[in-house]
Structure 1
Amino acid sequence: MILDPTAYPIDHVLRGAPDAPALIERDGGLSFVEAEQAVARLAGWLAMQGFEPGARVATWLPKTRVAALMPLAAPRAGLVHVPVNPLLKRAQVAHILADSGAAMLLTHGPRAATLEPGDVGEGVRLFTEAGEGDALPRSAADSDALAAILYTSGSTGRPKGVMLSHANLWFGAIAVADYLRLTPDDRVLAVLPFSFDYGQNQLFSTLVAGGAVAPLDYLTPRDVVKAVARVGATTLAGVPPLWTQLLAATWPEEAVAPIRRLTNSGGALTPRLVRGLRDRFPAADLYAMYGLTEAFRSTYLDPALIDAHPDSIGRAIPFAEIMVLRPDGSPAEPGEPGELVHAGPLVAQGYWRDTERTAQRFRPAPGWPCAVWSGDTVVEGADGLLRFVGRDDEMIKVSGNRISPQEVEEAVLAGGEAREAVAIGIPDEAQGQAIVVVLAGDPAVEPALRARLKRDLPSFMQPAAYDWREDLPRNANGKLDRASLRRALVEAGCDKDMTR
């Protein structure tokens, strides 16, 4: 694919041959010409609602046809799409609706039934199905216009909305289509949420290359294996915990044969996982990638290098300007740890209605008036390859999901079972990290606490273990000493029962 330096409105990604498949569904799906017509009519329905230009429209959906089309239809109608992770529960959805100032929420009956009075604020229109309107032509929006807000947790506080322009989404789509060498005969099994930048880009990059996307909601790894065989998937994207599950599954030859590429992000591949995937899928190219929502994707490792460098995150992707900088902003030397800083057209527009946190993360860098300081430490080798060292913030990453410790702590304390709580991520081979909550209070109430959190938090935010104490340690400033708690748990290997 030619890397055209021109940005187009994101709804122009439908570039495949008219009769070629764009979406593959159990009932047959849509060709590119049918998908274009469906996007046009869905955009027309949105326009009928009378929302102001730039209004935020939220979706909280499983992987339905509408969920795949709305990221294109909303921008075509001059609106800003706010996809909500389908795994989130009503409290998280209510926060995103309020924070984004959404004008509407499109969901479906089962999820709508879980909402309580006040979750959908005054003036927010609730729909449980989408309609059709007069077809709208392709957008002529400015490439810098806001197209989407993706919510991601911060190291403190509630999830924050990352503002993405048409150009951010477009350049991300063609960059990935280029380095993955996607072609019109590719069939991509989309198992990741469309609310996840990795999952949404998989949709866009496949379509701009003229390939077909097969959306899949799955319950077990076996569902993924069967879907690969059913649709003849050539491409499968995942995060490390999913690869661990898939390697434990039985793969018949008809499921292994069509796969020509595997892509990983949302956590580092371990040498063990690399060996397992190369053994299971010997004919497939394996792409290790690194990124963050604020700048989408930073690096990828050429598959030809993965066997010799399984711990590397590679080099910059097309359109990404990558720097490794010391705290004073000067370039780190090869072999010297530094912060990964990302500049260029993939850098988002900041955090929605949050100038303070925008100023902390989006700052000047050498030669660039605005860059994303990732908070992640990397080392560049003499070979030019980058290697991930660690995270500087307190984020917890479980099965590829970035989780704010404060959000977990707020949920734990909401019922009054504990006096204080600190949520900590400890290494876990199956999930990347597991959440351990250290609490001050009476452990006799733990069953009630677990039952309440099972109702209130999505599965990936559930604590795996609880460490009850009379009091929690504090530092000289009187604040809870998170660092000492984390250090003690990690050094001890956390011998708490992680299976309860």
Structure 2
Amino acid sequence: MRYERYLAESARLYGSKTALVAGDHRLTYAEFDALSSRLAATLAANGVARNDRVLVFMDNGWEAAVSIFAVLKAGATFSPINPSTKADKLGFIIENCRPSAVLTTGRLAGVVEEAGQAAGWSGFIVATSGPRPLPTGVMAFDDALAGDALAGNAEAVGHGGIDVDLAMLIYTSGSTGRPKGVMMTHRNVVAAATSITTYVENRADDIILCVLPLAFDYGLYQLLMAVKMGATLVLEKSFAFPHAIFDLIRREGVTGFPLVPTMAALMLQMRELEPGFLPSVKYLTNTAAALPAEHIAALRALFPGARLYSMYGLTECKRCTYLPPEQLDHRPGSVGIAIPNTEAFVVDDDGKPVAPNVPGELVIRGPHVMQGYWENEEATRKMLRPGANPWEKVLYTGDLFRMDEEGYLYFLGRKDDIIKTRGEKVAPKEVEIVLHACPGIAEAVVFGVPDEVLGHAIGAMVVRSDPDLTERDVIRHCAKYLEDFMVPKVVEFRQELPKTDTGKVSRRLAAETMEPAR
């Protein structure tokens, strides 16, 4: 099934129900469906054809949601781009995937023009109104929505698409080089959304908050899953003002609260919050990085009665594992078991399964695994390798894990992040677990720092919740629980940790911005 058909079905079943809440703007499912059909018609009339790529370069808002489904209805492939992306990186993406159109905002129209000129591109641009007049040749979003609603229907457009066509092209953050475009078919997206909504137990009466960028697949899937279930999505641009978000949650009766570790850490520093302060919330989810056990315990205290799902995933397959909420007391450090209709196993350097509790690389097998990287065969071969069956490829994640005797998985770190010091290998995650257990630490990230004697030493960057905490206190705490070679040699305190555009703590940026040891 192609994904845009879920919107048509939800519009049929729940036409008058609120589908989207974005600021002061509210759309019913009928309105959402009609607007996306009109925009699809405009795209088709301006040359967007089946399997073309279309960039959605927008802030979180109803326009972005409508744009995503309009692209699908036109038979094309959408590529959501973070609105903080600069012209240089956007130019690379434009040159790489050669989109036939870009849907953007008036504020960002100039960035699109600059990037397009650098890439030698002159495609169709649609932009919402902004503080300045739109550049010549750019169609106003309101005008693009003024087309014939019937003409935007998939059958009328006649693109003839099927579910093995590409639905989306998600560009990775490019932390280790230029971004790579992850290719996901409609079938991949349906498989991922179906699996996640099954174990999270989503329902049509859910009201789901999304403060994460739609360019981040975790945020994007909140939209996709809400549409699939006929639920309501409350869309905000960020979590920069938590109290305003809390008021919004109470006002809208939000039941689902997806978060990332940086959001959890911020909430847990707010001492005025009382248990049960958001009584409508029935479940919380976490991904991007594993939650420290201490944060899990604190969140459960703040949200009594709510289900908390600790999860692990990566863009190349969306989601890999989840920890059933009833297992939190028994194994809070685990990211759980494979999601429904998925297999996850740990292998050695030769691709052979390892014994329980032996570190190795996590491999994922399932219908949600990407098709590969857009026009990058070398990177694709590294990640997608032959499986046990001759007809399939499995995903080598590049992440180190161990699996216990009962099949529960524990994230140890990226293979590329392993620090070699004193002839030993150190997984940063093991040190971070100890740091998060130190009283007075709100957030921490660990990485290797150059050392003339050791080659590399252990460095830590820390956000304090106790202003009196000292470097000596931190090192003394680590020495109590870690082997000597794993104890940080240098600890730097920051007001906040360096993060990627999607709000994920960046080990690379932390290492690059660490002050030299004195």
Contact 2:53/2:99 (<8 A) preserved: yes
Contact 2:173/2:179 (<8 A) preserved: yes
Indicate the residue corresponding to 1:360 in structure 2. 382
Q: CA deviation at 1:53?
A: 2.5
Residues 70 and 114 (structure 1 numbering): CA distance in 2 closer, same or farther, change over 3 Å?
closer
Indicate the residue corresponding to 1:63 in structure 2. 60
**Residues 98-109 of structure 1: matches in 2 within 5 Å?**
98-109=95-106
CA deviations over 1:165-201 (Å, ceiling 9, x no partner): 1011111111111111111111000111111111111
Q: Determine what percentage of the aligned residue pairs are the same residue.
A: 32
Residues 390 and 223 (structure 1 numbering): CA distance in 2 closer, same or farther, change over 3 Å?
same
Distance across 2 between alignment mates of 1:47 and 1:435: 49
**Residues 452-491 of structure 1: matches in 2 within 5 Å?**
484-485=455-456, 487=458
Gaps of 5+ in 1: 1-7, 397-423, 439-471, 475-480
**Residues 17-416 of structure 1: matches in 2 within 5 Å?**
17-27=14-24, 29-114=26-111, 117-120=114-117, 121=119, 122-129=121-128, 130=141, 131-132=144-145, 133-135=147-149, 136-138=152-154, 141-154=161-174, 156-218=176-238, 219-249=240-270, 250-251=272-273, 256-367=278-389, 369-394=392-417
Q: CA deviation at 1:93?
A: 2.0
Q: CA deviation at 1:493?
A: 4.9
Q: Which amino acid aligns with 1:149?
A: L
Contact 1:301/1:312 (<8 A) preserved: yes
Indicate the residue corresponding to 2:511 in structure 1. none
Q: CA deviation at 1:46?
A: 1.2
Q: CA deviation at 1:113?
A: 4.0
Residues 91 and 138 (structure 1 numbering): CA distance in 2 closer, same or farther, change over 3 Å?
same
Contact 2:56/2:68 (<8 A) preserved: no
Indicate the residue corresponding to 1:409 in structure 2. none
Q: Which amino acid aligns with 1:206?
A: A
Distance across 1 between alignment mates of 2:201 and 2:43: 34
Contact 2:322/2:337 (<8 A) preserved: yes
Q: Which moved more, 1:155-164 or 1:272-281?
A: 155-164
Q: Which has the higher contact order (CA 8 A, sep 6+)?
A: 1
Q: Which amino acid aligns with 1:186?
A: D
Contact 2:48/2:74 (<8 A) preserved: no
Contact 1:329/1:366 (<8 A) preserved: no
Indicate the residue corresponding to 2:515 in structure 1. none
Distance across 1 between alignment mates of 2:418 and 2:53: 27
Q: Which amino acid aligns with 2:75?
A: G
Q: Which moved more, 1:346-355 or 1:149-158?
A: 149-158
Contact 2:61/2:237 (<8 A) preserved: no
CA deviations over 1:246-284 (Å, ceiling 9, x no partner): 223344788511000000000001111011101000111
Q: CA deviation at 1:434?
A: 7.8
Q: Which amino acid aligns with 1:76?
A: K
Distance across 1 between alignment mates of 2:112 and 2:490: 36
CA RMSD in angstroms comes to: 2.9
Q: CA deviation at 1:69?
A: 2.0
Q: CA deviation at 1:485?
A: 4.2
Residues 486 and 41 (structure 1 numbering): CA distance in 2 closer, same or farther, change over 3 Å?
farther
Q: Which moved more, 1:85-94 or 1:244-253?
A: 244-253
Contact 1:229/1:254 (<8 A) preserved: no
Residues 145 and 498 (structure 1 numbering): CA distance in 2 closer, same or farther, change over 3 Å?
same
Secondary structure (helix, strand or coil) at the match of 1:111 reads helix
Q: CA deviation at 1:204?
A: 1.1
CA deviations over 1:36-73 (Å, ceiling 9, x no partner): 11221121121121134322111211112121122221
Q: Which amino acid aligns with 1:90?
A: A
Secondary structure (helix, strand or coil) at the match of 2:223 reads helix
Contact 2:320/2:338 (<8 A) preserved: yes
Distance across 2 between alignment mates of 1:395 and 1:165: 33
Q: Which moved more, 1:489-498 or 1:425-434?
A: 425-434
Residues 118 and 383 (structure 1 numbering): CA distance in 2 closer, same or farther, change over 3 Å?
closer
Gaps of 5+ in 2: 129-140, 420-427, 437-441, 461-485, 497-518
Distance across 1 between alignment mates of 2:445 and 2:66: 33
Q: CA deviation at 1:207?
A: 1.8
Distance across 2 between alignment mates of 1:280 and 1:392: 34
Distance across 2 between alignment mates of 1:309 and 1:337: 17
Secondary structure (helix, strand or coil) at the match of 1:297 reads coil
Q: CA deviation at 1:127?
A: 2.8
Q: CA deviation at 1:385?
A: 1.1
Q: CA deviation at 1:492?
A: 4.0
Q: Which moved more, 1:250-259 or 1:10-19?
A: 250-259
Secondary structure (helix, strand or coil) at the match of 1:379 reads strand
Q: Which amino acid aligns with 1:141?
A: G
Q: Which amino acid aligns with 2:168?
A: A
Secondary structure (helix, strand or coil) at the match of 1:24 reads strand
Contact 1:340/1:376 (<8 A) preserved: yes
Q: Which amino acid aligns with 1:287?
A: Y
Q: Which amino acid aligns with 2:39?
A: L
Contact 2:447/2:458 (<8 A) preserved: no
Distance across 2 between alignment mates of 1:209 and 1:118: 37
Q: Which amino acid aligns with 1:310?
A: P
Q: CA deviation at 1:18?
A: 2.0
Distance across 2 between alignment mates of 1:484 and 1:48: 60
Q: CA deviation at 1:26?
A: 3.8
Residues 48 and 434 (structure 1 numbering): CA distance in 2 closer, same or farther, change over 3 Å?
farther
Q: CA deviation at 1:364?
A: 1.1
Distance across 1 between alignment mates of 2:229 and 2:112: 39
Distance across 1 between alignment mates of 2:202 and 2:275: 23
Aligned partner of 1:10 among 3, 6, 9: 3
User: How many residues end up aligned between the 2 structures?
Assistant: 425
Residues 161 and 264 (structure 1 numbering): CA distance in 2 closer, same or farther, change over 3 Å?
same
Distance across 2 between alignment mates of 1:486 and 1:102: 45
Contact 1:232/1:255 (<8 A) preserved: no
Contact 1:20/1:32 (<8 A) preserved: yes
Indicate the residue corresponding to 1:465 in structure 2. none
With normalisation by structure 1, the TM-score equals: 0.78
Q: Which amino acid aligns with 2:393?
A: C
